[in-house]
Structure 1
Amino acid sequence: MTPVTLDYLLLIEALCGVSAPRKRKLDDGTIVEGSSAKRSPTFRHDSVAFAPQQVQLQTPAVPHPTSTPARRPFAVDESLSLQRHRHCKLLGQTTALDATLIGLGAFNDKNETESRVGTLRQVGGSEYFSTHADADVPVPDDETRALAEIEATVGQHGPALIDIYFRNVHPSYPIIQKSAFLDRLHHGDLQFNPPLLAAMYVLALAWWERDPELAQLAKPDTARLEFIAVNSLTVAMQRPKISAVQAGLLLLQRAKASTWSLTVQLVALGQDIGLHLDCSSWSIPEWERRLRKRLAWALYMQDKWSALMHGRPSHINAADWAVPEPTVEDFDEQIPPFVNPTSITTTTNQPASEENDIETDPETTKGLTIFLQLIKLTRLLADITDLFYSSTAKSAYARAGRFATTLVLNRAKPVQLRLKAWYADLPPTCKMDNYTSGLLSPTAYLHLAYFATEITIHRRIVQSLDPAHSDPYMLYICRSAAKTRLISALDFVNRLKPEHLEAFWFFASPTNLELIGTFGALLWVTSPGVEEREFYGARLREFRWTLGDSISIDSA
């Protein structure tokens, strides 16, 4: 018998109690072993497992006169994937650890049981994670040194940069639980995840010059911060946590730093902590469930738009994606108020602070609405790339021969109708003309993504056209439709205002601008006549002038 097999059998024995000492069962079902009592496995929702104050209120404990008051726990202490000194990994259905066998173990009030592979935590009926101490994973660097380098780079400007981040980035890209972050910051806990903190600073520095006070001072070294973030992220990814995914996604919002390899790593890391699963009924804090849903869809969008940008196959498959789309309620920043378990008086009826309420600021509401609409658009984009650019689609068009255009058009019509319906149903807050003079508006990146999606369809249609075999009327209709889309996209670029240009831009925006130029060049070189060729040449020269002299877009 191999050591691996032996270890596995020993684990099963430990979980199932095969070789355990004799136990006796009380009338209430409690299993007694020695002097300790363990209950048979029972799934506990967060209303019990993560609300100790409710239990204490029923049976209040009287503190010992000499006892030291318990430290106020931070919100992340109760989480599954944001604990400061522990990390977790999802136990998938096909691993050697079968969920049914694990369920035979004895679980405590936190839905945890000890095993030879670490502490196993049940979050749902058949969903389990193995949790491990960060110290158990040796790494070549330490967080303390990385944090010191970060703070040395930003100096005394850290608080101002955090304020800029939550004012300009967070409303449009809400992948951080603001209240949980500020909860630690306000209570003096500065031991944040180094790559996450550095990435937040890096993005915030894009608005340094817009701050009247900061603009007069020397700007921190952005390249140095990004270097620290990338290197510390490599270390952080060895201990799977939500914070590592957040850090990676924020770094990828920098267009120059957006790489396919890091995107793929983040997808794998997200799967490691179960972001691809529906956590709606998991026994984790409600705020963490909301955060997981938002973060999961941010990862989904990163994967799909990166695949378009780099011409690569997506790594998130519909068959293995179970996350429901977030709703407005999932942007609630509220976390339950802390109740000291040694106190009989409860604070559960106290009103939440302003920072913990659902954001009601119009610009913040606009940001989250745009985020939700981009999710819907990205799902459309995923279908479009599968239909027109996957390897199977490419083979189908090759087999169709001179009927390839007909096949493309038949596939295009349903998604074009869906895209048209998406645009028609955009909320008023997402319209381009819905902005206040002098206030930054991130609406433009959503509309640019829409034009890029439209162009992705028409690009394939134009590529399939063969003047030697295509019906002349079909050729005319297809090229006319493509021309209309190009003109609309070019006019959109010309209408951009400073309020749009200086706001947050999704990481794919620079490439989406390039796709407009690429589409124009495709129509130019395939023009059947001199007049049409001259038209596209003139529009492309105008587009290049606009980009060179008027528009400079970075994702951050």
Structure 2
Amino acid sequence: MAAAIAMQPLAPRPSPHHIAPAWSSPVSHPHYMDGKENRPVKKQSTQPSAPSNARSRRERPCDGCRRRKSKCVLQHARRCVLCEFHKQDCTFVENAQPRKRKADEMSSKPEEAATAAKKQDSVIAEPVTTPSSPLAQEFSSVTDYASDSPNPYAVDQSLSLQRHSHCTYLGPTTALDASLIGLSSFDDNNETASYVGTLRHVTDGEYFSIHSDADVPIPDDEARALAEIDALIGPHGPALIDLYFHNVHPNYPIMQKKTFLDRHRHGDRHFNPPLLAAMYLLAMDWWHSDPELSQHPRPDADRLEYIAITGLNIAMQRPKISAVQAGLLLLQRAKSSTWTLTVQLVALGQDIGLHLDCTEWSIPLWERRLRKRLAWALYMQDKWSALMHGRPSHINAADWAVQPPVASDFDDNLDPEPSEPAPEAAKGRSLFMHMISLTSIMAEVCSTFYSQTAKAEFARAGRYATQLVLNRAKPVQIKLKDWFAKLPPECKMDSPALGPHHLSSTGYLHLGYFATEISIHRRIVQSLNTATADPYMLYICRSAAKTRLISAMDFANRLQPAHLDAFWYFASAANFALIGTFGALLMATAPGKEEAEFYSWRLREFRWTLAVSARKAAWIASAAEMLEANLEMVARVPEKEAAVEMKRREKVVEVAEVEHELEEQEYDDDELEVDGWDEQV
């Protein structure tokens, strides 16, 4: 059994400010990596060690922890953490018992084993849930981890999730120069005192300032907000947490599941109020699918969202990972998808260094994994929000150093060795990773075709604008086609279900793909001038656009209840609306009445599809409303040309096809991907 380590006091601080105390160093454990494996050697403390405290037998656990077979973590001179939690004496009077193999104990002394188990149950706090609840099984599954945990609250050993302090990143152009900070003496936690707070070194040239939460006065306290949340949710909190981790977390893994459940198990109720409220809000989407919850009225979601948003504004004053998590979860609800909150979260993420590569930081391994997942979630939020609102992105590629995620980054365990994920978690992980790569392509589409620089260049091109658009479309179309071709089986729409009652979130990934594809062809159609454009170019471009639209609408028709009831990414409603917008654009720019009537018929069919889907997924109703607005504007377009004129135009196209060789055109079918690509969808 590893020994508990006493926290050594820092050197006297000259600062007149309240300085956050350094978190106590966790004990050594073979299956727990606290970031010391990445600690820069040159930053170790050169200060003399503090005198030992009153607990002289620091090389052995206390009697209570020995009986519980738990890690003994020193809190202060009188009692360890667990003895303090259970309000019992922390003594060292009992002798160590000889170890026996578990099989021998169960076979030779079953009665003693049962008695010991009862004693252990009597000293460990029970989770607030019912034994039959799936959440109870989740709590029991982390019992072994909790007994091996170096601290019941592992978040206090993190950088940006500590319960009573927060940190901010010190950039290279701030008044505190990294070279000057490096001259300081750092303690065992890579921290040093300064006039502006405690400074923490995470890797060469990267520093954070750590401050006590008490240093930032707030107009309201967390206890009051948590009490109000508990009053709204009542006894249904554990069931909602279970629904969240079953339906949301596998597909949107921005939480550290094990640490959250461990804190809950140990009776910690110092959760971030907006984060807890946001988790409840998302889980309530599956309220009626739970046999137990469906028998009770739903809590007031509007009031809960108000508490979450107001609490988030306060939490942002103390930058932590939990505030970013809360904001991202709130933005997954269609009602809360506001551009302003997205921009605030980007700034908050940069404040805690989410835009940096934390691979080699001297912080716990689980926090490095969480930071990477959260950073990419923030990246996707920024890029898809920019597409939704037609605004410039706030994350610049030149200042984005986060490495692409790998499979091990999604492991929720605190062990350094990755564990085998459950089938649902593996599928959700794959969806999340492919959504990240799709988002990068979509961001390139926005930059290539919709940035202010691109718009100015297309305007200067004049009558050659379409040719310029087509030339720039080809590279990004190839990337998009390659992305789709490499989708693994679990990410395809026709992938087999994991079980009869399992939901599938593959819909949001494919919808994002169609939205990206439509955004390319939308810009091509916008550049066309039906009066002056080459007839053959006009025919090729509009035919490719028509094919894209039909594929997207057919995708919407094929959605099953297992898709509609699953988790959908926040941009999905806007992406459904983009399909209708693209159809309305093709209808309004149709050169003849017959083509316009075709799009009118398809849009009516699409409106019916959205109305039916909205019965299972209410958030789709906003896409139907946007479609109605577009159809109202299209109705103002003058009536199209007669069928005779349309036939004349078709004759012109036939002549053009003879006169133009496909291999001599830079905008031929291959470049526009109309050569059977839809068969892959």
TM-score by length of structure 1 reads 0.85
Partner of 1:439: 502
Aligned to 1:389: 450
Q: Residues 354-393 of structure 1: matches in 2 within 5 Å?
A: 358=419, 360-393=421-454
Alignment of 1:27-38 (within 5 A): none
- Measure how far apart 1:555 and its partner are: 6.4
Shift of 1:490: 0.3
Q: What's the counterpart of residue 459 of structure 1?
A: 522
Cross-structure match for 1:271: 350
Task: Kindly indicate whether the alpha-carbon contact (under 8 Å) linking 2:39 and 2:361 is maintained by their aligned counterparts in 1.
Answer: no
> AA paired with 1:68?
R
Alpha carbons of structure 1 residues 49 and 402: separation in structure 2 relative to 1, 3 Å = closer
Q: Which residue of 2 aligns with 1:88?
A: 167
Which of residues 279, 286, 302 is equivalent to 1:207?
A: 286
Check the 8 A contact 1:86/1:134 in 2, yes or no: yes
- Whether 2:126 is the aligned partner of 1:126: answer no
Is 1:89–1:131's contact at 8 Å kept on the other side of the alignment?
A: yes
Aligned partners of 1:67, 1:240: CA distance in 2, in Å?
33
Distance in 1, matches of 2:265 and 2:255, equals 16
Alignment match of 2:80 (pick from 32, 45, 69): 69
2:251 corresponds to which of 151, 160, 172: 172
Ranked by relative contact order (alpha carbons within 8 Å, sequence separation 6 or more), the top structure is 1
Q: Which residue of 2 aligns with 1:5?
A: none
Against the structure 1 CA distance between its residues 148 and 464, is the aligned structure 2 distance closer, same or farther, given a 3 Å change threshold?
same
Cα distance, 1:549 vs structure 2: 2.6
Which protein has the larger Cα radius of gyration, Structure 1 or Structure 2?
Answer: 2
The aligned residue for residue 344 of structure 1 is: none
The answer to whether the Cα contact below 8 Å between 2:564 and 2:613 also exists between their aligned partners in 1 is no
Aligned to 1:506: 569
* Paired amino acid for 1:46: K
For 1:262, which of 310, 318, 341 is the aligned residue? 341
- Taking the aligned partners of 2:533 and 2:598, their CA distance within structure 1 comes to 23
CA deviation map 1:161-218 (0-9, x unaligned)? 0000000000000000000101101111111000000000000000000111111111
Matched AA of 1:295: L
Match of residue 323 from structure 2: 244
Partner of 1:543: 606
The answer as to whether partners of 1:276 and 1:322 remain within 8 angstroms in 2 is yes
Structure 1 window deviating more from structure 2 (186-195 vs 509-518): it is 186-195
2:261 corresponds in structure 1 to 182
Matched, 1:46 2:36: yes
Q: Does 1:495 align with 2:570?
A: no
Question: What is the CA–CA distance in structure 2 between the aligned matches of 1:438 and 1:73, rounded to whole Å?
Answer: 35
Structure 2 residue matching 1:413: 3-state secondary structure? helix
Residue in 1 that maps onto 2:225: 146
Q: Secondary structure at the match of 2:59?
A: coil
Q: Which residue of 2 is the match for residue 54 of structure 1?
A: none
The match for 2:578 among 515, 521, 524 is 515
> What SS does structure 2 have at the residue aligned with 1:61?
coil
CA offset at residue 49 of structure 1?
6.2
The runs of 5 or more residues in structure 1 that have no matched partner are 1-12, 16-43, 51-58, 338-351
1:301 to 2:299 alignment: no
**The residue matched to 1:474 in structure 2 has which SS?**
helix
Q: Distance in 1 between matches of 2:400 and 2:570?
A: 23
Q: Please say if 1:322 is aligned against 2:312.
A: no
Partner of 1:25: none
Range that drifts further, 399-408 or 432-441: 432-441
68-77 or 251-260, which deviates more: 68-77
Q: Deviations over 1:108-130 (max 9, x none)?
A: 01000000100000001000000
What SS class does the counterpart of residue 255 from structure 2 fall into? coil
Does the CA contact (< 8 Å) of 1:91 and 1:97 recur in 2? Answer: yes
**SS, match of residue 96 in structure 1:** coil
For residues 189 and 555 of structure 1, the distance between their equivalents in structure 2, rounded to whole angstroms, comes to 34
- List per-residue Cα deviations over 1:472-496 (Å, max 9, x = no partner): 1111000000000000000000000
Partner of 2:371: 292
In structure 2, relative to structure 1, the CA distance for the partners of 1:46 and 1:137 (3 Å cut) is same
**For 2:168, what is the secondary structure of its paired residue?**
strand
1:420 is aligned to 481
**Counterpart residue identity of residue 458, structure 1:** H
Q: Give the whole-Å Cα distance in 1 for the aligned partners of 2:543 and 2:61.
A: 79
Query: Residues 48, 545 of structure 1: CA spacing in aligned structure 2 closer, same or farther, 3 A cutoff?
Result: closer
Q: Which residue is 1:37 aligned to? A: none
Separation in structure 2 between the aligned mates of residue 62 and residue 299 of structure 1, nearest angstrom: 44
The structural deviation recorded for 1:142 is 0.4
Q: 1:217 and 1:112, CA in 2 relative to 1: closer, same or farther beyond 3 A?
A: same
What residue number does 2:633 align with?
Answer: none
- Equivalent residue, structure 1, for 2:535: 472
Q: Given that residues 121 and 130 in structure 1 are in contact (C-alpha distance below 8 angstroms), is that contact kept between their aligned partners in structure 2?
A: yes
Mapped partners of 1:147, 1:14: distance in 2: 36
C-alpha deviation, 1:64, in angstroms: 9.2
Deviation at 1:468, TM superposition (A): 2.2
Equivalent runs, 1:215-230 vs 2, <5 Å: 215-230=294-309
Task: Judge conservation of contact 1:370–1:430 (CA < 8 Å) in 2.
Answer: yes
* Inter-partner Cα distance in structure 1 for 2:454 and 2:371: 33
Is the CA contact (8 Å cut-off) linking 2:247 and 2:567 kept in structure 1? yes
Question: In structure 2, how many angstroms separate the alpha carbons of the residues matched to 1:132 and 1:542?
Answer: 58
Post-superposition offset of 1:417: 0.4
Range with bigger deviation, 66-75 or 432-441: 66-75
Q: 1: distance between equivalents of 2:216 and 2:173?
A: 24
Output the TM-score relative to the length of structure 2.
Answer: 0.70
Give the 3-state SS of the residue equivalent to 1:123 in structure 2. Answer: strand
Give 1:61 shift: 3.1
Percent identity of equivalent pairs = 67
- Secondary structure of 2:524's counterpart equals helix
CA distance in 2, matches of 1:69, 1:240: 30
Q: CA deviation at 1:551?
A: 3.3
Pairwise CA distance, 1:256: 1.1
Q: Is 2:540 aligned against 1:481?
A: no
* Alignment correspondent of 2:490: 429
Please report how far the alpha carbon of residue 364 of structure 1 lies from its aligned counterpart in structure 2 after TM superposition.
Answer: 1.8
Asked if the contact 1:505–1:555 (Cα under 8 Å) also holds between the matched residues in 2, the reply is no
2:194 to 115, 119, 130: 115
Contact 1:255 1:554 in 2 (8 A): no
- What is the deviation of 1:470? 1.5
The Cα of 1:45 is off from its aligned counterpart by 5.2
How far did 1:467 drift?
A: 1.6
User: Could you tell me which of 185, 199, 219 is aligned with 1:106?
Assistant: 185
Specify the SS of the correspondent of 1:401: helix
Find the aligned partners of 2:295 and 2:578 in 1 and give their Cα distance: 37
Relative to structure 2, which stretch is displaced further, 180-189 or 433-442? 433-442
Preserved CA contact (<8 Å) 2:39 2:202 = no
CA distance in structure 1 between the partners assigned to 2:213 and 2:373 by the alignment:
25
Q: Distance in 2 between matches of 1:509 and 1:95?
A: 39
Conserved 8 A contact 2:152-2:263: no
How far is 1:550 from its partner? 3.3
Change (3 A) 1:265 1:366: same
Native 8 Å contact 1:504 1:555 kept in 2: no
User: Structure 1's 137 and 555: CA in aligned 2 closer, same or farther, altered over 3 A?
Assistant: farther
Shift of 1:275: 0.2
- Answer whether contact 1:198 1:229 (CA < 8 A) is retained: yes
